[in-house]
Structure 1
């Protein structure tokens, strides 16, 4: 059996340990049953964001956005396409900075949309501005060393 990988459930915030060789098998949270490695974008709240950024051992890409931001709205469908393309290699989530202004505190976010890539408890890369899905996927693969 492969070593366990820690993942925070993006729905309930519970830390789960998933065997590394089971990440492609669509693992579910042991507490609430939500999918842990779904190829979709998940909406976060600040508490879950903080916990996942500190804990996740799989790359976590967070889009800091706001509903009034034109470039953010333009990038939203591209971010969804990138989540599907990355499948079980990374998790993509977003947080509404207007609804949760605390989420930007301490993260030095100067403009939106901003993508931050977390892994193993630290920020490993950052990118500002709207991006096409191929650019997002390439950036994640390059910055996190994620296989194609």
Structure 2
């Protein structure tokens, strides 16, 4: 299944699949697009672990007030860091296997995965600026040629 995302640079509507092999860019202006997807127990490997870019995983629950507060902040971070990070949202009530696997004891729990491996972890809600700083500090340093 694919989502339709408007390019923040030119407004062109683009189709982005949850699991893809490259980084999403606008078909018209080639600007990086924010990549936000949902995953569950059965789709997490394809959507998050095999992602070609680092993945910010939001382990959340619909009944959790702080989760509903941090959700828009995480989407803002994903838009600001388009082309550098993919946001994958996991409803722990619908994906109990992932909640057990990552030992989620409180929601929201945020994980930063790179190459399918957990590189950083944080629990609790925070403002978008704090979350962005945490993500940027946790992202792998790009290698230089």
Q: Does residue 74 of structure 2 align to residue 79 of structure 1? A: yes
Aligned partners of 2:111 and 2:122 also within 8 Å: yes
What is residue 6 of structure 2 aligned with on the other side?
none
Q: TM-score, normalised by structure 1?
A: 0.72
What is residue 50 of structure 1 aligned with on the other side?
45
User: Partners in 1 of 2:141 and 2:47 — Cα distance?
Assistant: 18
Q: Does residue 100 of structure 2 align to residue 100 of structure 1? A: no
Q: TM-score, normalised by structure 2?
A: 0.73
Equivalence map 1:15-54=2 (5 Å): 16=21, 18=22, 23=23, 25-26=25-26, 38-54=33-49
- Structure 2, gaps ≥5 residues long: 1-16
1:65-97 C-alpha deviation (Å, 9 max, x unpaired): 001001101111111111111111100111111
Say which is worse superposed, 129-138 or 38-47, in terms of deviation: 38-47
Residues 101 and 60 of structure 1: is their aligned pair in 2 closer, same or farther, counting only changes over 3 Å?
Answer: same
Aligned partners of 1:63 and 1:93 also within 8 Å: yes
Aligned partners of 2:37 and 2:47 also within 8 Å: no
Aligned partners of 1:53 and 1:122 also within 8 Å: no
- Structure 1, gaps ≥5 residues long: 1-8, 28-36
**More helix by proportion, 1 or 2?**
1
What is residue 3 of structure 2 aligned with on the other side?
none
User: Partners in 1 of 2:94 and 2:40 — Cα distance?
Assistant: 9
Aligned partners of 1:97 and 1:104 also within 8 Å: yes
User: Partners in 1 of 2:72 and 2:99 — Cα distance?
Assistant: 22
What is residue 5 of structure 1 aligned with on the other side?
none
Query: Helix, strand or coil for the counterpart of 1:75?
Result: helix
